[in-house]
Structures are given as structure tokens and as C-alpha cells.
Structure 1
């Protein structure tokens, strides 16, 4: 349990920009200035029908944190929740983590070296807990890339290194014949026993290819198109994808590419601009870019009769929001929500009995039988309320943490706690996110 909480907190630390520059270790988080030209019109939200049955994976993982106008299944992984989809790579099928907070596609390869993320000691291969390993000898479409290396590190101590290559990818009906991806030959990884790698859906600025140097040091970054970028730039797919995460443990949810899945949702959408927020290294060059939006604030109360005011004006008959005009990242690779510390404290106090802070794990714990407060996130003056089931997260039979935790110097993140309650549309062409509320039932 302690390891689970420490990893959750660590994963949050890496994914961390805000509206002002903030130094965090070797990273600086800031809102990047960007001249916005006239954007494309919002994509038409056509319903897709290519839905695949979901399955359960009963394993523990907090890894960070995918179709011709189709949908593909996601698998809910217990503990820290990640979401997996089946992808054909070189004609072989692999389960891969879907992550909107990163960009690279990568797979662990046969004969890789496994290391302990804590002390970097070499350990047995099975302890990295990958699924079936990629073998380039079994593919006729593998093309190695010379003079480049793959290198990515995580705040949890995990890291992955290896080579890069081109390979054929097929995800739920969409073929990308020459997709660049990482081939992992050295890994320090907390795996889930099922996934063989990861597919990132964020921007190209997060990709992790670097030029090789004669000295062996890491050279300059070499940006390339992630899988989804190639889908809409080269394969005629509309530049939009959508996610509906399922809270039912036997299911994971649905991902639609080029449209939205055919699931019940509210008819009204909240649309908001994606901001250019990045993690900058000391040279000032952009390293990461996420799906970052402004939220009006957070609705918090211990009374179900409370009427909230999402408009920011004075209204003596309604309760104002807290944490107004907060930048947040929408990230399927993060299990919980992370909010300003004072907001998290107010949410903790609103539980009955109140949640309590544990200074050894830097997390709010709560009685597993407690009554959860009313909690909602306001986006463009529409409040999206969170199911009480998502606010009390069991980490053992008798121990629970709150589904909303303090950011503690990291970024504000709307992760699984929030995304289980909405249908999220990532409209890259119009540079906006759209949200529709979902009722509290299985989407699959």
C-alpha cells in the first residue's frame, strides 16, 4: 500500500505545468506563449460503431499514465488504473497502455534488461512484468532507424531506453504503415503483467527520440509524429479522438478515434480551449506539452442541497466555487485527481467523517464507509459532478484514500476520478476539449 501511494505521488510530480513558471527538480513548468491563428472549425462528432468487448486484468500498477472512425476496448487495471488497448504491430497483437499524458509508442523487446526502479540493480526479466515481448525477427515490416536512441524517465524512478525503428501499426481498423516507435532494451518499470508497451496520444513535443553522439551522451531531441498524428495527417482520419472510462472493474471503457463511441451521454457539451503548457528544461527549450485547459473552479459541499454559482459573480443565494481559474491537465494515465492544496483540504474536510492527512505517505486517507461530499469541476460554466464511488479509493480491504489529492507543487490533473464521469473529446484540429456528462453506469 505504501509503495502504491508513493508511486501515485511521484507520477504526479513529473506531470506538472501551471499558469506561472515553477521550478521542480530539473524541470520548469510554465504556460508557453503561442500565437493562435484562426483554428479549424470543431470536428463533427460522428458516432462510431466499431466496439470491442472489454476484459478485466486483476493486477496492481500505477504506470502513467486508440481506428477507421472506430472504437477499441480499454482494460481497467486495478490498483493504480491504466487503460489498455490491443494494437497490431508488425502483424503481432499486443496490449498497450493508452496515455493522453505522453506521446511515444513503445514496446519492450525480447532479451531486454530489467532493472529495479529504486536502486537501478539488475533484476530478473519477469519482475518488470511486461506482457508478450516484441521480436523484430518475426516481422517483415521492421525498419531500424540509425543514429537515434529512445530515452524517457519518470519521477517514480522508472525509465526506458533503447533504439528506434519504423513498423506497421494497426489500431481498431486504422493502418499506419511506417510508424516510428521505441524498442525498449533496458527498462526499470512497474508493469502490470499484461501490457507490452504504451501508446501516447499527446503532442509531438513529448516524443522521446534523441540523436546519438560520439561521446555516448544524449544528443538533441528528434521530434517525430506520434501514432494519432500520423492517423489524421496521413490516413484521412478526422483529427479528433474520445474517451469514456468505465468504473466497473471488469471493464475499462471505450476509446473512439475520428469520432465518439455510441454510448449514452448528456446532449450538452462544454467546449474549452487547449492551452500550450509545457515542461521546460534549463535551456528553455520545450520538452513536454499536454492537454491543458482552464477550469472555472471546483464545487465542494457536504450537503446535496447546495446550489453552486459557476459564473464568478456575487450571488447571495448560491455557493461560490473554490480554486477559481485553475489550469489542469486532462490525463488518462493518472488514476486520481490532483488539485490546489487548499482545495484538496476542503474536500477532505467535507467527508463524513473527515478524511485525514498522513504525513508519511503525503496523502489523504478516509474511512472506507464514509459519506463522500458533493464534488464537481466547472468547465465553461457547466459543473460536472463526480460520483461518490470515485471519491473513495480502496487500497486494501480496510484502507481507502480520497480520489482527489493535493498537487503539492506538481500540476493540477484531472485523471480517472474525473474522466469516469464524462465523455471526453480531444479535438486536435480545433485545439479544444469537449466534455459531456455521463450517467453512473457501465459504458460497455
Structure 2
């Protein structure tokens, strides 16, 4: 989904692209390798504010839908269900939007599953994913590059470093710039400028605008990214955190995705969409990451991603579905009862990824029956399949998914179910399949997600 952002003062005009939902970053960046996992903890931090009122915002960005074609990739789906990570970060999907930076517009991916705002420098070096062989800049398929403006101030002794499960990797530096997003100006905002990219872009977007928490930012002390590890992480305030801590807006943003045409992102309030005026809420949960030593600086002291517990799911036969160690995603541990599952709300995930026991049961209700792709965790179905009734229970409400969103066309005459299976070491996600049916309010101040049902469309 797309919209515009403006980096004022010699301003960097960022075209935010919310249609290409970006990377879901699930762990600290660590070049030491090894098996890394994450856990959700139900306690919440003590320092939080009252819920912000449900008022329409004047700061609204129009989002554009996915234009690249296949909304999922086998490698991405496999990484999610297996919990596999490369230096701690999951792969990503894409969503676009428009805004301003340095007097020039760019299209960026808007992502609730990562925290950094980054653009490729005009002199960046492109390299082949996996091999690192040098390639022409055009091979990385960024829609544009960034030339630092007169108001850009480099930050010394700090590097940017992120690696995705797909093998894509970015390194660079940081600086500050005056940034304007949806009419909200943040002076001296820290942004990342990519100097080296092993990247396969879409030719539509130029970078990412991350909306997750400060603890998930990828800034590391020193100039050599090869020396980065959890202990050298330098947490900073990403763009949305800067907006509300400076008093520009209320500490929340909200997203209403449309099935075909993108959607809306509202900062500091709600977008002008129709919704049922009853909200269900669920508190954020702490997400810790580590390699067994639990030495990550974020550990259990800060939120990283938008993690919540849902109370269960409504589908035919759900009352007899039972959790087990095999179909409930380790390392979360067993649920307190058989109706709950811990999930991450992420605009960067096109499908819903749920424990395999649930995914199998729901997908068995499609007519005609699915064929399961074990290597990827998703279910191939007929594009004319009849979808079952499926709802997600949050608080005291059940949010039903439109049957149109349960059948996802991935091109070439192939369709998959909107519900995929996570693996024994993977995460559960409420992705676009679910989010197209609700108004999702990310109330950071009150440390909770709020959801309202959208009008049937």
C-alpha cells in the first residue's frame, strides 16, 4: 500500500509504500550464527497510558495494494513455519505508500514488523543475493536512490545491518534528517542509508518505513558490521516513536486494509472508514529473542513487535480441536487452555499462519479439498473453492473473515488458502487475510491492540 511522506528542511520526501508490506523482524541482529528463537511473555510493562480516544485523524496516508503478483513466496512461508532465521530477521512481503524526503518523493514499504526507516544511497553497491557478486545498481530493482540533502547529518561510529531469511542483506550508516510524514514533521529523525545491498526489489519501492518498537531497531556501535552482535545494539527512536514522544500526535496509529485497492494508514487516530463501533482489545506481550544465552539488550525490558494472545478461533469442529506439543508452536510452550494462541499482528505477512492442528482442521472444510505443500506450509486450493466460515476470537468479540479473503490467488491459475501452517518452531501471525476485515488500532501508549469489525465489502 502506498502513501506519501515528507522529510522537510531540504526535505526528504518519502513516498511511503504501504502496499508492499515489509520485513517481519523477530530477533536481534547477530552475526555469530547459531539457532535463534523467540518467546512471547504475557506480562506487560508497568509504564503505560490510558487508551487514546477513537477519534478520526487528520494525518491519513493512502495505501496501494500489492502490484508485484505472487503475494507469498515458498522461501518466506517455509521460514515462517520452521522459525528459521538468518542473523535474526524474517523475510518480508511488500506494501507501498507516498511521502517526502529531501524535497523528493519516494515510495517506501510501510511495515509493522520492523522499526527502521531506510533508503539506498545514490552510490550504493548492489550485489547478488547469496553470492555477494557485484552487480549494476539496477539489478537490485530499487525504484529510486537517496542523495543526502544539505540537512542530512551523518552519525559517526554507528552502522546499519539487517539480514533476511531469503538471503537478502543490507548494510550502511545512519544520519539525521528533518522528516515529514502525513503532515507531521519530525526534526533530526534518525534514518538508515544503505551502502551495500544484496537485495531483490520490486522496481516500485525504494526502501522501508518501519512502525514497530525502538527495541527492534538495527543500529550497532562501530563501523564494521561484521563485529555486530546483540551487545553492540544502539537502540534509538524510530519515526512513529519520535512523533508521539515529541507531542505531535496521540501514541497510536491505525490501519484499514482494503481487499483490492490498498487501504489507509492513520497516525494519531483512526482513518475515515466505516466500522462496527464495538472494539475488542488485547494487551501487547513482551517478545524476547536470543541464542540460548538471553543476552539480547531488548530481552524482557522492551516491546519489539505487536504480539498478542487471541482467545481462539470459530470454525466447524473447533470445539473438539485439541492442542498438542506437535501442533502448538514451540517455544511458546503449552497454552493455558485449548482456546488460546499467541500471535504477531503484522502487515508484512500476506496470510494467517496458525498452528498446524488448527490450519489442517480449517482447510479440511474447503470444498473441494486442498493439497498441502509441506515444504512451505500452505494449502493449494481451487480458485473456485467454497471457503468455510472462520472467525478469530479477541476479547469478547469474534471477527469473521470474508470468504473472499480465504482464497488467495498467487498467479498462473494457482490459489492458496488464506490460512497457512506454522511449524513447531515457528510463529503464529495475523496477516493480511485477517487485517482486511478489521480496523486495527495499534495503541502504543496503552500497550494494546484494538480491533473493530469493518463493514462487509
Same fold, TM exceeding 0.5? yes
- Structure 1 residues 297 and 212, CA gap change in structure 2 (3 angstroms): same
2:325 is matched with: none
1:200 equivalent to 2:210? Answer yes
| Counterpart in the other structure of 1:379 | 394
Determine if the alignment matches structure 1 residue 252 to structure 2 residue 262: yes
Q: Distance in 2 between matches of 1:358 and 1:214?
A: 40
Alpha-carbon spacing, 1:335–1:323, altered in 2? closer, same or farther (3 Å): farther
Give the aligned length.
Answer: 392
2:433 partner SS? helix
Contact 1:207 1:226 in 2 (8 A): yes
Aligned to 2:240: 228
Instruction: Specify the alignment match of 2:102 in structure 1.
Output: 90
Q: Which residue is equivalent to 2:37?
A: 28
Residue 295 (1) aligns with residue 310 (2): yes
Of residues 153, 156, 163, the one that matches 1:143 is 153
Deviations 1:177-202 (A, max 9, x none): 11111101111223121111111111
Q: Give the match for residue 163 of structure 1.
A: 173
Query: What are the ranges of 5 or more consecutive residues in structure 2 without an aligned counterpart?
Result: 1-22, 78-91, 321-336
What does 1:355-394 align with in structure 2 at a 5 Å threshold?
355-394=370-409
Q: Deviations over 1:107-138 (max 9, x none)?
A: 111121222224333333222211111011xx
Aligned pair partner of 2:440 in 400, 404, 424: 424
| Cα distance change, pair 54–34 in 1 and its aligned pair in 2 (3 A) | closer
In the other structure, the counterpart of 1:46 is 55
Distance verdict in 2 for CA 1:25–1:438, change over 3 Å = farther
Partner SS, residue 82 of structure 1 = coil
Q: Secondary structure at the match of 1:289?
A: coil
Q: Shift in Å at residue 328 of structure 1?
A: 0.3
Structure 1 CA distance for aligned equivalents of residues 221 and 72 of structure 2: 30
Contact 2:352 2:429 in 1 (8 A): yes
With over 3 angstroms needed to count, the CA separation of the structure-2 counterparts of 1:151 and 1:282, relative to structure 1, is: farther
CA contact (8 A) 2:44 2:283 kept: no
Q: Distance in 2 between matches of 1:385 and 1:278?
A: 30
Q: Tell whether 2:128 aligns with 1:116.
A: yes
CA-CA distance at 1:286 after TM superposition: 4.4
Q: 1:48 to 1:365 in 2, by over 3 A?
A: same
8 Å CA contact retained: 1:62, 1:190 = no
Matched, 1:411 2:433: no
Query: Which ranges of structure 1 fall in alignment gaps of 5 or more residues?
Result: 1-10, 18-23, 66-79, 310-321
Match of residue 250 from structure 2: 238
Q: 1:25 to 1:265 in 2, by over 3 A?
A: farther
Shift of 1:323: 5.7
Evaluate the alpha carbon distance shift between residue 327 and residue 270 of structure 1 in structure 2; reply closer, same or farther with a 3 A threshold: same
CA contact (8 A) 1:295 1:327 kept: yes
1:167 Cα offset (Å)? 1.0
Distance 1:388 1:116 in 2: 40
Residue 375 of structure 1, CA deviation: 1.1
Range moving further from structure 2, 47-56 or 116-125:
47-56
Using the TM superposition, name which of 400-409 and 416-425 deviates more: 400-409
8 Å Cα contact 1:364/1:401 also seen in 2: yes
CA contact (8 A) 1:350 1:372 kept: yes
Determine the C-alpha separation between the residues in 1 that align with 2:134 and 2:210: 27
RMSD of aligned residue pairs (Cα, Å): 2.9
Structure 1 residue ranges, 4+ long, deviating more than 6 angstroms after superposition: none
Picking from 309, 319, 342, the partner of 2:357 is: 342
Question: TM-score under structure 1 normalisation?
Answer: 0.81
- Aligned counterpart in structure 2 of residue 174 of structure 1, from 181, 184, 187: 184
2:68 pairs with 1:59: yes
Partner of 1:107: 119
Change (3 A) 1:396 1:355: same
State the TM-score, normalizing by the size of structure 2: 0.79
Q: Structure 1 stretch 428-437 or stretch 105-114: which is displaced more?
A: 105-114
With over 3 angstroms needed to count, the CA separation of the structure-2 counterparts of 1:52 and 1:221, relative to structure 1, is closer
1:271, distance to aligned residue in structure 2 (A): 1.1
C-alpha distance in 1, partners of 2:360/2:61? 40
